[in-house]
Amino acid sequence: MSYNTREKWTHRLHEIIFEADTKAGKTFDVILIFSIVVSVLVVMLDSVAEYRAMYGDWFYSIEWFFTILFTVEYFLRIISVKKPSGYIFSFYGLVDLFSILPTYISILLPGSQYFLVIRILRVLRVFRVLKFTQYLIEVNQLQKALASSRRKITVFIFTVVTITVIVGSLMYVIEGTENGFTSIPKGIYWAIVTLTTVGYGDISPQTNLGQMLSAVIMIMGYGIIAVPTGIVTVELSRAQPKGRSTEVCRYCSREGHDSDAEYCKYCGGKLNA
């Protein structure tokens, strides 16, 4: 195989595996998503004792089928990229590796049942495919909004952690070990469960003073939960253009027209003319 043929061949392979513009690339993506979903379902069902007892052998066979399939795919990816190390140490490269490695290790180290759970990371592989779809714009807008609210959310989380540390310590003193607040970390855990309005009820205040303080925290939690929502909403509304076109009127040179406008709303001149 001449260098050129190989070059052409890996280029074609790259197009199929990494992109979704061609028909073959799209077919590959559909098969890949289907394989990922099925293999993740098998990992999940295999953890249910009764299903493993009944269908354990089937699960074992299916698991090996997909592991070999993903292994072949992994090496095809390495071959088809120009700089293999770039792919191998990328986020998705590592996810791909961790998706197949545990199955092989399980032969060498029998009984490493919990280790096999790492295969669940396969579910992350679906995101790669998502990137090529029509959802790309939505993914980008959401990422952009979250990225620009990153610093505000950091300040917010920092404040929440401080509140829970102080409130958790206070409740540890008020309620004490006999009511389940056995230590400050336990009190902080309770404070987080309460402030986020999860409220398991595994630990709950029993004393009058404790219940009064909790009530205050919960009403505070109301206001606190409003803050990240406000931050993300503002960023999202900025990430999203307001349906205005950027067109400038040829006659009066003013802009700010709606995207469905046909005439300039200031001078009546024809737009798009």
Tell the smallest beta-carbon distance from residue 104 to its own copies (Å). Answer: 19
Q: What would the x/- binding string for its own copies be over residues 204 to 243, using CB under 8 A?
A: x---x--xx-xx--xx-xxx-xxxxxxxxxxxxxx-x-xx
Question: Which of 77, 68, 75, 78 shows the shortest CA–CA distance to 39?
Answer: 68
Q: Given the complex with its own copies, which of 110 and 243 has the nearer CB atom?
A: 243
* DSSP structural state of residue 252: T
Backbone torsion region of residue 244, taken as left when φ is above 0, otherwise alpha when ψ lies between -120 and 50, otherwise beta: beta
Q: Is 154 helix (H, G, I), strand (E, B) or coil?
A: helix
Nearest distance from residue 30's CB to its own copies, in Å?
Answer: 16
By C-beta, is 9 or 158 nearer to its own copies?
Answer: 158
Residue 263 pairs with which residues in a beta bridge? 270
- Name which position in 92, 193, 207, 248 contacts its own copies (CB under 8 A): 193
Which position among 85, 112, 154, 253 is part of the footprint of its own copies (CB under 8 A)?
Answer: 154
Interface pick for its own copies out of 114, 178, 246, 272 (rule CB under 8 A): 114
Rounded to an integer, what distance in angstroms lies between the CA atom of residue 190 and that of residue 161? 12
C-alpha span between 268 and 106 (Å, rounded): 75
- Both tokens of 31, joined, read 């098969």
CB of 53 to its own copies, least distance (A): 12
CB of 259 to its own copies, least distance (A): 10
Question: Are 123 and 40 within 8 A, CB to CB?
Answer: yes
**Beta carbon nearer to its own copies, 7 or 138:** 138
Which residues, numbered 30-49, are part of the site for its own copies (CB under 8 A)?
40, 43-45, 47-49
Interactions with its own copies, residue window 78-107 (CB under 8 A): none
**CB-based contact 61:42 (threshold 8 Å):** no
Instruction: Indicate whether 54 belongs to the interface with its own copies (CB under 8 A).
Output: no
Of the candidates 18, 7, 4, the residue with the CA atom closest to the CA atom of residue 96: 18
Q: Please tell me whether residue 182 binds its own copies under the rule CB under 8 A.
A: yes
Residues 6 or more apart whose CB falls under 8 angstroms from that of 261 comprise: 245, 271
User: What's the half-sphere exposure (Cβ side, CA atoms, 13 Å) at 56?
Assistant: 7
Q: Does 21 bind its own copies (CB under 8 A)?
A: no
Minimal distance in Å, beta carbon 192 to its own copies?
Answer: 5
Are 213 and 170 a contacting pair, CB within 8 Å?
Answer: yes
How far CA 12 is from CA of 5, 21, 22, in Å, comes to: 10, 12, 10
- Binding string, 131-150, against its own copies, x = CB under 8 A? ---xx--xx-xx--xx----
Q: Which residue stretch of 8-16, 67-75, 89-97, 176-184 sits at the interface with its own copies (rule: CB under 8 A)?
A: 176-184
Q: Binder to its own copies among 124, 129, 144, 207 (CB under 8 A)? A: 124
